[in-house]
Structure 1
Amino acid sequence: MKKTILAYGDSLTWGYDAAGPSRHAHEDRWPSVLEAELGGKARVIPDGLNGRTTAFDDHLSAADRNAAKTLATALLTHAPLDLVIIMLGANDMKPWIHGSPYTAKYGLLRLVEIVRGTEYGFGWSAPQILLVSPPAVSQTDNHEFKQFFAGGEAASEHLARLYAELAAMTGCAFFDAGSVAKTTPLDGVHLDAENTRAIGRGIAPAVRKMLEL
Protein backbone atom coordinates (compact mmCIF):
# COMPACT_ATOMS: atom_id res chain seq x y z
CA MET A 1 0.00 0.00 0.00
CA LYS A 2 1.23 3.49 -0.83
CA LYS A 3 2.58 5.39 2.19
CA THR A 4 1.38 8.85 3.19
CA ILE A 5 3.78 11.56 4.34
CA LEU A 6 2.99 15.02 5.71
CA ALA A 7 5.64 17.67 5.01
CA TYR A 8 4.96 20.32 7.65
CA GLY A 9 6.93 23.55 7.58
CA ASP A 10 7.21 27.23 6.78
CA SER A 11 8.05 29.21 3.65
CA LEU A 12 10.85 26.78 2.76
CA THR A 13 8.18 24.09 2.42
CA TRP A 14 5.67 26.49 0.82
CA GLY A 15 8.27 27.27 -1.84
CA TYR A 16 8.98 30.99 -1.40
CA ASP A 17 11.12 32.29 -4.26
CA ALA A 18 13.12 35.37 -3.25
CA ALA A 19 13.90 36.23 -6.88
CA GLY A 20 10.29 37.29 -7.55
CA PRO A 21 9.43 37.47 -4.86
CA SER A 22 7.07 34.71 -5.84
CA ARG A 23 6.56 30.98 -5.42
CA HIS A 24 8.62 28.21 -6.96
CA ALA A 25 6.95 25.97 -9.51
CA HIS A 26 5.24 22.99 -7.93
CA GLU A 27 7.76 20.54 -9.35
CA ASP A 28 10.68 22.48 -7.81
CA ARG A 29 9.42 22.48 -4.21
CA TRP A 30 11.16 19.96 -2.00
CA PRO A 31 8.03 17.94 -1.06
CA SER A 32 7.29 17.45 -4.78
CA VAL A 33 10.87 16.39 -5.44
CA LEU A 34 10.75 13.97 -2.50
CA GLU A 35 7.58 12.37 -3.83
CA ALA A 36 9.19 11.97 -7.25
CA GLU A 37 12.30 10.45 -5.68
CA LEU A 38 10.15 7.85 -3.92
CA GLY A 39 8.97 6.58 -7.29
CA GLY A 40 5.25 6.29 -6.67
CA LYS A 41 5.60 4.39 -3.39
CA ALA A 42 4.39 7.31 -1.28
CA ARG A 43 2.42 10.51 -1.60
CA VAL A 44 3.78 13.61 0.07
CA ILE A 45 1.25 16.17 1.34
CA PRO A 46 2.84 19.64 1.59
CA ASP A 47 1.70 21.92 4.40
CA GLY A 48 3.92 24.99 4.35
CA LEU A 49 2.98 28.42 5.70
CA ASN A 50 5.10 31.55 5.34
CA GLY A 51 6.32 32.75 8.73
CA ARG A 52 5.31 29.61 10.66
CA THR A 53 7.11 29.14 13.99
CA THR A 54 7.56 26.04 16.11
CA ALA A 55 5.40 27.11 19.04
CA PHE A 56 5.21 30.91 19.21
CA ASP A 57 2.63 33.51 18.28
CA ASP A 58 3.31 36.11 15.60
CA HIS A 59 0.49 38.57 15.06
CA LEU A 60 1.85 40.08 11.83
CA SER A 61 -0.20 37.66 9.73
CA ALA A 62 -3.90 36.97 9.28
CA ALA A 63 -3.09 33.25 9.53
CA ASP A 64 -2.08 31.51 12.75
CA ARG A 65 1.66 30.97 12.44
CA ASN A 66 2.04 29.00 15.69
CA ALA A 67 2.56 25.35 14.74
CA ALA A 68 1.77 24.17 18.26
CA LYS A 69 -1.77 25.46 17.71
CA THR A 70 -2.30 24.13 14.19
CA LEU A 71 -0.34 20.88 13.88
CA ALA A 72 -2.99 18.62 15.41
CA THR A 73 -5.55 19.93 12.91
CA ALA A 74 -3.21 19.11 10.03
CA LEU A 75 -2.53 15.65 11.44
CA LEU A 76 -6.20 14.78 11.70
CA THR A 77 -7.04 16.37 8.35
CA HIS A 78 -4.62 14.09 6.53
CA ALA A 79 -4.72 10.96 8.73
CA PRO A 80 -3.82 8.18 8.55
CA LEU A 81 -0.17 9.15 8.17
CA ASP A 82 2.93 7.00 8.07
CA LEU A 83 5.44 9.79 8.50
CA VAL A 84 5.51 13.47 9.48
CA ILE A 85 8.48 15.55 8.34
CA ILE A 86 8.84 18.76 10.35
CA MET A 87 11.18 21.51 9.11
CA LEU A 88 10.72 24.63 11.23
CA GLY A 89 12.87 27.01 13.26
CA ALA A 90 14.10 29.70 10.88
CA ASN A 91 11.25 32.05 11.83
CA ASP A 92 11.94 31.42 15.50
CA MET A 93 15.19 33.31 14.90
CA LYS A 94 13.31 36.60 14.43
CA PRO A 95 14.15 38.81 17.42
CA TRP A 96 10.50 39.62 18.17
CA ILE A 97 9.72 35.89 18.33
CA HIS A 98 12.62 35.03 20.62
CA GLY A 99 15.78 34.68 18.52
CA SER A 100 17.07 31.67 20.43
CA PRO A 101 17.91 28.30 18.91
CA TYR A 102 17.56 26.71 22.34
CA THR A 103 13.96 27.85 22.62
CA ALA A 104 13.32 26.62 19.07
CA LYS A 105 14.53 23.20 20.19
CA TYR A 106 11.89 23.07 22.90
CA GLY A 107 9.27 24.41 20.52
CA LEU A 108 10.08 21.47 18.29
CA LEU A 109 9.86 19.13 21.28
CA ARG A 110 6.31 20.38 21.83
CA LEU A 111 5.49 19.41 18.24
CA VAL A 112 6.89 15.91 18.77
CA GLU A 113 4.63 15.60 21.81
CA ILE A 114 1.63 16.69 19.75
CA VAL A 115 2.31 14.14 16.99
CA ARG A 116 2.60 11.34 19.53
CA GLY A 117 -0.16 12.52 21.85
CA THR A 118 -2.92 13.12 19.30
CA GLU A 119 -5.85 10.67 19.35
CA TYR A 120 -6.13 9.61 15.71
CA GLY A 121 -9.08 7.25 16.07
CA PHE A 122 -9.97 4.24 13.89
CA GLY A 123 -7.14 2.29 15.52
CA TRP A 124 -4.54 4.37 13.68
CA SER A 125 -1.13 4.76 15.28
CA ALA A 126 0.90 7.94 15.52
CA PRO A 127 3.16 8.42 12.49
CA GLN A 128 6.92 8.27 12.57
CA ILE A 129 8.71 11.63 12.82
CA LEU A 130 11.62 13.05 10.84
CA LEU A 131 13.00 16.30 12.27
CA VAL A 132 14.77 18.52 9.73
CA SER A 133 16.90 21.51 10.66
CA PRO A 134 16.60 24.32 8.08
CA PRO A 135 19.65 25.76 6.31
CA ALA A 136 21.20 28.53 8.37
CA VAL A 137 20.31 32.17 7.79
CA SER A 138 23.03 33.84 5.70
CA GLN A 139 24.32 37.33 4.95
CA THR A 140 22.20 39.55 2.71
CA ASP A 141 22.03 43.14 1.52
CA ASN A 142 18.23 43.02 1.68
CA HIS A 143 17.60 45.64 4.36
CA GLU A 144 14.16 44.40 5.39
CA PHE A 145 15.17 40.77 5.83
CA LYS A 146 18.40 41.81 7.53
CA GLN A 147 16.30 43.57 10.19
CA PHE A 148 13.70 40.80 10.39
CA PHE A 149 16.39 38.22 11.13
CA ALA A 150 18.90 40.39 13.01
CA GLY A 151 21.27 38.04 14.84
CA GLY A 152 19.84 35.06 12.97
CA GLU A 153 23.06 34.14 11.20
CA ALA A 154 24.88 33.18 14.38
CA ALA A 155 21.82 31.81 16.17
CA SER A 156 20.61 29.55 13.36
CA GLU A 157 24.02 27.88 13.08
CA HIS A 158 23.17 26.01 16.30
CA LEU A 159 19.88 24.54 15.10
CA ALA A 160 21.32 21.42 13.45
CA ARG A 161 23.24 20.37 16.56
CA LEU A 162 20.33 21.05 18.88
CA TYR A 163 17.81 19.28 16.65
CA ALA A 164 20.11 16.26 16.37
CA GLU A 165 20.27 16.14 20.16
CA LEU A 166 16.49 16.38 20.36
CA ALA A 167 16.04 13.60 17.80
CA ALA A 168 18.34 11.33 19.78
CA MET A 169 16.51 12.18 23.02
CA THR A 170 13.04 11.49 21.58
CA GLY A 171 13.78 8.62 19.21
CA CYS A 172 12.98 10.61 16.09
CA ALA A 173 14.97 10.54 12.87
CA PHE A 174 17.00 13.62 11.92
CA PHE A 175 18.24 15.30 8.75
CA ASP A 176 20.30 18.48 8.43
CA ALA A 177 18.99 20.33 5.37
CA GLY A 178 22.01 22.62 5.63
CA SER A 179 24.17 19.66 4.61
CA VAL A 180 22.70 19.81 1.09
CA ALA A 181 21.30 23.33 0.69
CA LYS A 182 22.23 26.96 1.34
CA THR A 183 20.00 30.01 1.67
CA THR A 184 20.10 32.63 -1.08
CA PRO A 185 21.92 35.94 -0.53
CA LEU A 186 18.89 37.67 -2.11
CA ASP A 187 17.29 37.69 1.34
CA GLY A 188 19.46 35.38 3.48
CA VAL A 189 16.55 33.13 4.43
CA HIS A 190 14.92 31.44 1.44
CA LEU A 191 16.08 28.97 -1.21
CA ASP A 192 16.55 29.16 -4.94
CA ALA A 193 15.03 26.39 -7.05
CA GLU A 194 18.14 24.20 -7.07
CA ASN A 195 18.55 24.33 -3.30
CA THR A 196 14.93 23.48 -2.53
CA ARG A 197 15.17 20.57 -4.98
CA ALA A 198 18.34 19.46 -3.20
CA ILE A 199 16.46 19.11 0.08
CA GLY A 200 13.90 16.81 -1.52
CA ARG A 201 16.66 14.66 -2.97
CA GLY A 202 18.64 14.74 0.27
CA ILE A 203 15.78 13.63 2.49
CA ALA A 204 14.75 10.74 0.23
CA PRO A 205 17.26 8.11 1.48
CA ALA A 206 16.23 8.68 5.12
CA VAL A 207 12.55 8.36 4.18
CA ARG A 208 13.13 5.17 2.21
CA LYS A 209 14.88 3.67 5.22
CA MET A 210 12.21 4.75 7.71
CA LEU A 211 9.30 3.49 5.60
CA GLU A 212 11.15 0.48 4.18
CA LEU A 213 10.48 1.57 0.60
Structure 2
Amino acid sequence: MKTILCYGDSNTWGSIPTPTFNGARRYDAHTRWAGVLRDRLGEDYWVIEEGLGGRTTVWDDPLSPHRNGYAYLPPCLMTHRPIDLVVLMLGTNDLKHRFGLSAYDIASGAGFLVDTILRSMCGPEDTPPGVLLVCPPPTTDPIPPKFADMFAGAIEKSRQLAPQYEKVANDYGLPFLNAGDVIESSPVDGIHFTPEAHIKLGEALAEKVRAVLV
Protein backbone atom coordinates (compact mmCIF):
# COMPACT_ATOMS: atom_id res chain seq x y z
CA MET A 1 0.00 0.00 0.00
CA LYS A 2 1.26 3.47 -0.95
CA THR A 3 1.00 6.26 1.63
CA ILE A 4 0.23 9.79 0.43
CA LEU A 5 0.37 12.83 2.73
CA CYS A 6 -1.65 15.88 1.63
CA TYR A 7 -0.12 18.91 3.36
CA GLY A 8 -1.91 22.20 2.98
CA ASP A 9 -4.17 24.92 4.34
CA SER A 10 -7.93 25.47 4.63
CA ASN A 11 -8.49 24.25 1.07
CA THR A 12 -6.93 20.93 2.05
CA TRP A 13 -8.93 20.94 5.30
CA GLY A 14 -12.02 21.56 3.17
CA SER A 15 -13.36 24.98 4.20
CA ILE A 16 -16.74 25.82 2.69
CA PRO A 17 -16.76 29.32 1.11
CA THR A 18 -18.92 31.78 3.05
CA PRO A 19 -19.50 35.52 2.53
CA THR A 20 -18.99 36.38 6.22
CA PHE A 21 -16.84 35.29 9.15
CA ASN A 22 -19.31 33.00 10.89
CA GLY A 23 -17.15 30.06 11.90
CA ALA A 24 -15.35 27.43 9.86
CA ARG A 25 -17.56 24.95 8.02
CA ARG A 26 -16.10 21.86 6.40
CA TYR A 27 -17.03 19.70 3.43
CA ASP A 28 -17.55 16.00 4.11
CA ALA A 29 -14.77 13.47 3.62
CA HIS A 30 -15.93 12.45 0.14
CA THR A 31 -16.21 16.03 -1.17
CA ARG A 32 -12.83 17.35 -0.03
CA TRP A 33 -10.23 16.99 -2.78
CA ALA A 34 -8.04 14.72 -0.65
CA GLY A 35 -11.07 12.50 -0.04
CA VAL A 36 -11.83 12.46 -3.76
CA LEU A 37 -8.20 11.52 -4.34
CA ARG A 38 -8.57 8.65 -1.85
CA ASP A 39 -11.79 7.43 -3.46
CA ARG A 40 -10.39 7.56 -6.99
CA LEU A 41 -7.12 5.83 -6.14
CA GLY A 42 -8.74 2.94 -4.31
CA GLU A 43 -7.67 0.52 -1.63
CA ASP A 44 -4.02 0.27 -2.70
CA TYR A 45 -3.40 3.83 -1.44
CA TRP A 46 -3.62 5.39 2.03
CA VAL A 47 -4.33 9.14 1.82
CA ILE A 48 -3.65 11.29 4.90
CA GLU A 49 -5.21 14.77 5.15
CA GLU A 50 -3.09 17.38 6.95
CA GLY A 51 -4.85 20.66 6.24
CA LEU A 52 -4.94 23.66 8.60
CA GLY A 53 -6.75 26.93 8.01
CA GLY A 54 -4.39 29.90 7.77
CA ARG A 55 -1.27 27.78 7.29
CA THR A 56 1.56 29.54 5.46
CA THR A 57 4.63 28.05 3.84
CA VAL A 58 7.31 29.19 6.30
CA TRP A 59 6.05 32.41 7.88
CA ASP A 60 4.90 33.09 11.44
CA ASP A 61 1.57 34.92 11.51
CA PRO A 62 1.37 37.35 14.47
CA LEU A 63 -2.43 37.25 14.33
CA SER A 64 -2.82 33.48 13.93
CA PRO A 65 -0.27 31.44 15.89
CA HIS A 66 0.74 27.87 14.99
CA ARG A 67 0.22 28.48 11.26
CA ASN A 68 3.87 28.23 10.13
CA GLY A 69 3.92 25.31 7.70
CA TYR A 70 7.59 24.60 8.26
CA ALA A 71 7.28 24.40 12.06
CA TYR A 72 4.84 21.49 11.92
CA LEU A 73 6.23 19.73 8.84
CA PRO A 74 9.12 17.70 10.36
CA PRO A 75 7.05 16.15 13.19
CA CYS A 76 4.21 15.57 10.74
CA LEU A 77 6.51 13.65 8.42
CA MET A 78 7.92 11.63 11.29
CA THR A 79 4.43 10.84 12.57
CA HIS A 80 3.20 9.39 9.29
CA ARG A 81 6.37 7.73 8.00
CA PRO A 82 6.97 5.82 5.81
CA ILE A 83 5.46 8.20 3.24
CA ASP A 84 5.65 7.48 -0.48
CA LEU A 85 4.47 10.88 -1.70
CA VAL A 86 3.73 14.31 -0.22
CA VAL A 87 1.17 16.38 -2.12
CA LEU A 88 2.13 19.92 -1.13
CA MET A 89 -0.27 22.82 -1.76
CA LEU A 90 0.45 25.96 0.25
CA GLY A 91 0.87 29.63 -0.58
CA THR A 92 -2.60 31.19 -0.56
CA ASN A 93 -2.25 32.54 2.99
CA ASP A 94 1.20 33.92 2.15
CA LEU A 95 -0.68 36.35 -0.12
CA LYS A 96 -2.15 38.18 2.88
CA HIS A 97 -1.29 41.87 2.88
CA ARG A 98 0.33 41.78 6.32
CA PHE A 99 3.17 39.56 5.09
CA GLY A 100 4.20 41.87 2.24
CA LEU A 101 5.60 38.99 0.17
CA SER A 102 6.25 38.75 -3.55
CA ALA A 103 5.31 35.74 -5.68
CA TYR A 104 9.00 34.86 -5.70
CA ASP A 105 9.11 34.95 -1.88
CA ILE A 106 6.07 32.69 -1.62
CA ALA A 107 7.46 30.17 -4.09
CA SER A 108 10.76 30.26 -2.20
CA GLY A 109 8.86 29.33 0.95
CA ALA A 110 7.30 26.39 -0.88
CA GLY A 111 10.76 25.43 -2.10
CA PHE A 112 12.07 25.43 1.46
CA LEU A 113 9.34 22.96 2.39
CA VAL A 114 10.23 20.80 -0.59
CA ASP A 115 13.85 20.78 0.52
CA THR A 116 12.78 19.85 4.06
CA ILE A 117 10.75 16.90 2.78
CA LEU A 118 13.55 15.65 0.53
CA ARG A 119 16.02 15.78 3.42
CA SER A 120 13.69 14.05 5.88
CA MET A 121 14.35 10.39 5.02
CA CYS A 122 10.72 9.72 5.97
CA GLY A 123 10.00 7.64 2.89
CA PRO A 124 10.14 3.85 2.52
CA GLU A 125 13.29 2.26 3.96
CA ASP A 126 14.59 5.65 5.18
CA THR A 127 14.65 7.20 1.72
CA PRO A 128 13.20 10.66 0.95
CA PRO A 129 9.48 10.78 0.15
CA GLY A 130 8.47 11.92 -3.29
CA VAL A 131 6.89 15.36 -3.64
CA LEU A 132 4.11 16.53 -5.94
CA LEU A 133 4.14 20.33 -5.85
CA VAL A 134 0.76 21.98 -6.44
CA CYS A 135 0.38 25.70 -7.04
CA PRO A 136 -2.90 27.00 -5.57
CA PRO A 137 -5.28 28.71 -8.00
CA PRO A 138 -5.44 32.50 -8.22
CA THR A 139 -7.90 34.49 -6.15
CA THR A 140 -11.00 35.82 -7.85
CA ASP A 141 -10.98 39.33 -9.33
CA PRO A 142 -12.28 41.18 -7.45
CA ILE A 143 -11.89 39.53 -4.08
CA PRO A 144 -15.26 39.74 -2.22
CA PRO A 145 -15.55 42.03 0.84
CA LYS A 146 -14.92 39.23 3.36
CA PHE A 147 -11.26 38.94 2.37
CA ALA A 148 -10.71 42.12 0.30
CA ASP A 149 -8.71 44.00 2.94
CA MET A 150 -6.90 40.96 4.31
CA PHE A 151 -5.73 40.03 0.80
CA ALA A 152 -5.21 43.55 -0.57
CA GLY A 153 -2.77 43.35 -3.48
CA ALA A 154 -3.12 39.58 -3.76
CA ILE A 155 -4.93 39.34 -7.09
CA GLU A 156 -1.96 40.01 -9.36
CA LYS A 157 0.50 38.18 -7.11
CA SER A 158 -1.72 35.10 -7.08
CA ARG A 159 -1.54 35.04 -10.89
CA GLN A 160 2.24 35.20 -10.73
CA LEU A 161 2.61 32.14 -8.52
CA ALA A 162 2.31 29.36 -11.12
CA PRO A 163 5.49 30.11 -13.12
CA GLN A 164 7.43 30.61 -9.89
CA TYR A 165 6.18 27.30 -8.46
CA GLU A 166 6.88 25.51 -11.71
CA LYS A 167 10.46 26.77 -11.59
CA VAL A 168 10.84 25.37 -8.07
CA ALA A 169 9.48 22.02 -9.25
CA ASN A 170 11.84 22.01 -12.23
CA ASP A 171 14.83 22.92 -10.05
CA TYR A 172 14.15 19.88 -7.85
CA GLY A 173 13.05 17.61 -10.69
CA LEU A 174 9.56 17.23 -9.22
CA PRO A 175 6.14 16.61 -10.77
CA PHE A 176 4.02 19.76 -10.79
CA LEU A 177 0.36 20.66 -11.08
CA ASN A 178 -0.98 24.18 -11.49
CA ALA A 179 -4.38 23.95 -9.81
CA GLY A 180 -5.38 27.09 -11.69
CA ASP A 181 -5.37 25.05 -14.90
CA VAL A 182 -8.03 22.79 -13.40
CA ILE A 183 -10.21 24.90 -11.09
CA GLU A 184 -11.10 28.46 -10.06
CA SER A 185 -11.57 29.91 -6.58
CA SER A 186 -15.16 30.41 -5.47
CA PRO A 187 -16.73 33.84 -6.13
CA VAL A 188 -18.42 33.56 -2.72
CA ASP A 189 -15.23 34.51 -0.86
CA GLY A 190 -12.56 34.55 -3.58
CA ILE A 191 -10.25 32.11 -1.79
CA HIS A 192 -11.90 28.75 -1.09
CA PHE A 193 -13.21 26.03 -3.41
CA THR A 194 -16.69 24.93 -4.46
CA PRO A 195 -17.64 21.23 -4.19
CA GLU A 196 -17.25 20.94 -7.95
CA ALA A 197 -13.74 22.39 -7.76
CA HIS A 198 -12.76 19.93 -5.03
CA ILE A 199 -13.94 17.03 -7.19
CA LYS A 200 -12.12 18.29 -10.29
CA LEU A 201 -8.90 18.86 -8.36
CA GLY A 202 -9.09 15.47 -6.63
CA GLU A 203 -9.59 13.74 -9.97
CA ALA A 204 -6.73 15.62 -11.61
CA LEU A 205 -4.45 14.76 -8.71
CA ALA A 206 -5.46 11.10 -8.82
CA GLU A 207 -4.33 10.94 -12.43
CA LYS A 208 -1.09 12.70 -11.55
CA VAL A 209 -0.40 10.48 -8.53
CA ARG A 210 -0.91 7.30 -10.53
CA ALA A 211 1.66 8.53 -13.03
CA VAL A 212 4.14 9.38 -10.27
CA LEU A 213 3.74 6.23 -8.15
CA VAL A 214 4.11 3.65 -10.90
TM-score bracket for the superposition, by shorter chain length: over 0.9
Q: How far is the alpha carbon of 1:99 from its aligned partner?
A: 3.4
Q: Could you tell me which of 28, 34, 40 is aligned with 2:37?
A: 34
Identify if the C-alpha distance between structure 1 residues 43 and 163 changes in structure 2 by more than 3 Å, giving closer, same or farther.
same
**Residues 5-44 of structure 1: matches in 2 within 5 Å?**
5-19=4-18, 22-44=25-47
- 1:143 equivalent in structure 2: 145
Q: 2:106 aligns to what SS in structure 1? A: helix
What stretches of structure 2 of length at least 5 have no aligned partner? none
Deviates more, 1:189-198 or 1:141-150: 141-150
Q: 1:22 aligns to what SS in structure 2? A: coil
Identify if the C-alpha distance between structure 1 residues 131 and 88 changes in structure 2 by more than 3 Å, giving closer, same or farther.
same
Query: Once the two structures are aligned, what percentage of the paired residues are identical?
Result: 39
Q: How far is the alpha carbon of 1:121 from its aligned partner?
A: 9.2
CA contact (8 A) 1:57 1:97 kept: no
- 1:67-88 CA deviation, whole Å, 9 max, x = no partner? 1111111100100000001000
1:4 aligns with 2:8: no
What stretches of structure 1 of length at least 5 have no aligned partner? none
**Residues 86-165 of structure 1: matches in 2 within 5 Å?**
86-120=88-122, 123-140=125-142, 142-165=144-167
Q: How far is the alpha carbon of 1:126 from its aligned partner?
A: 1.1
What letter corresponds to residue 90 of structure 1 in structure 2? T
| CA RMSD across the alignment | 1.6
Counterpart Cα distance in 1 of 2:182 and 2:113 = 24
What letter corresponds to residue 11 of structure 1 in structure 2? S
Alignment TM-score, normalising by the size of structure 1:
0.93
Counterpart Cα distance in 1 of 2:83 and 2:106 = 25
Number of corresponding residues: 210
What letter corresponds to residue 47 of structure 1 in structure 2? E
Counterpart Cα distance in 2 of 1:207 and 1:122 = 17
Counterpart Cα distance in 2 of 1:67 and 1:42 = 24
- 1:25-83 CA deviation, whole Å, 9 max, x = no partner? 11100000001111222111000000111110112224x11111111111001000000
Counterpart Cα distance in 1 of 2:106 and 2:123 = 30
Q: How far is the alpha carbon of 1:140 from its aligned partner?
A: 4.6
- 2:49 equivalent in structure 1: 46
What letter corresponds to residue 203 of structure 2 in structure 1? R
